[in-house]
């Protein structure tokens, strides 16, 4: 069993009031929670720093908690929620992003199971193969490299791993070599509640700060991260008005299926 928590912040640079954007008659954060309720989660809770989101979620009969507004990272917000809910240290908490209404419920179950089956790991997450060179060299795309146990060795915005010989020329960097083990990280996480409570007390690391990747704090302090590799990328989230229009078009079909 696991708990699904959905962090939702009102502020958004590219799409103001994003969690409250309407999708087929309900706010986006409500649609995300409804998808999470279709997973195997024993409890689904929205965590927000804004009273308007609290009101909207409660109006649809869903659980929501008001959290502090000064959390530096989403993981810090989850830590507060784990404490508010009184979760036992071994409880698995899946962080479902509040702007991903198309996230398959089965994927939530998978990442929770990945952590449950990896008792030495504090976190589980997901990745999928990268086949496009432009995507691989894009610093906005986070890559991850794994050890033989499918645990993360490192996450980076840099092109890792680096094919020394194949990438020696500009032409060689235009296409990825055959069987190249490049993986794109997907920001879906499962945590043990005990780790979440420890996280705010961990000192930030230089790697975390320079890469702007908070999962590097966990790696830097010796915590293990299990990574499950998916056969393909899951549906994208909502960052822009164009993304929202796409989700609005897809949503009725998703529910019909």
9 band by pLDDT with thresholds 50, 70 and 90: confident
Residues 64 and 52: their CA atoms lie apart, in Å, by 11
Q: How far apart are CA 22 and CA 155, in angstroms?
A: 34
Domain ranges (residues) in the chain: 2-248
| Helix (H) or strand (E) run with residue 126 in it | strand 123-129
Q: At the top level of CATH, which class does the domain 2-248 belong to?
A: alpha beta
Mean pLDDT of the chain, nearest integer:
94
Is the predicted pLDDT of residue 165 greater than 60, yes or no? yes
Q: Looking at residues 17-24, what average pLDDT do you find?
A: 93
Question: What does the pLDDT read at residue 75?
Answer: 87
pLDDT one-digit tens code per residue, 132-156: 999 999 999 999 999 999 999 999 9
For 172, which DSSP code?
G
Whether 11 has a pLDDT exceeding 80, the answer reads no
pTM greater than the 0.95 cutoff: no
How many angstroms separate the CA atoms of 43 and 85, rounded?
A: 11
Other CB atoms within 10 Å distance of the CB of residue 14: 11
- Collapsing DSSP to helix, strand or coil, 209 comes out as helix
Instruction: Place 183 in a pLDDT band, splitting at 50, 70 and 90.
Output: very high
DSSP 19: G
């Amino acid at each position: 069993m696991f708990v699904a928590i959905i962090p939702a912040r009102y502020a958004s640079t590219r799409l103001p009031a994003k969690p409250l954007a309407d999708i087929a008659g309900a706010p986006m954060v409500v649609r995300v929670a409804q998808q999470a309720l279709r997973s195997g989660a024993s409890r689904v809770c929205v965590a927000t720093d804004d009273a308007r989101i609290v009101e909207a979620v409660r109006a649809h009969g869903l659980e929501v908690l008001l959290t502090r507004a000064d959390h530096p990272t989403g993981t810090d917000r989850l830590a507060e929620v784990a404490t508010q809910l009184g979760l036992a240290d071994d409880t698995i908490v899946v962080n479902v992003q509040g702007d991903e209404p198309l996230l398959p419920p089965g994927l939530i179950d998978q990442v929770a199971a990945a952590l449950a089956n990896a008792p030495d790991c504090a976190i589980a997450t997901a990745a999928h193969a990268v086949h496009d060179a432009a995507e691989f060299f894009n610093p906005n795309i986070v890559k991850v490299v794994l050890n033989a146990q499918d645990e993360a060795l490192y996450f980076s915005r840099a092109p890792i791993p680096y094919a020394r010989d194949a990438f020696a020329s500009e032409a060689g960097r235009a296409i990825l070599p055959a069987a190249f083990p490049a993986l794109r990280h997907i920001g879906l996480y499962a945590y043990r509640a005990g780790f979440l409570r420890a996280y705010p007390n961990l000192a930030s690391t230089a790697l975390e700060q320079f890469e702007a990747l908070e999962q590097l704090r966990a790696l830097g302090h010796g915590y293990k991260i299990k990574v499950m590799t998916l056969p393909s990328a899951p549906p994208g989230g909502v960052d822009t008005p164009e993304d929202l229009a796409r989700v609005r078009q897809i949503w009725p079909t998703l529910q019909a299926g």
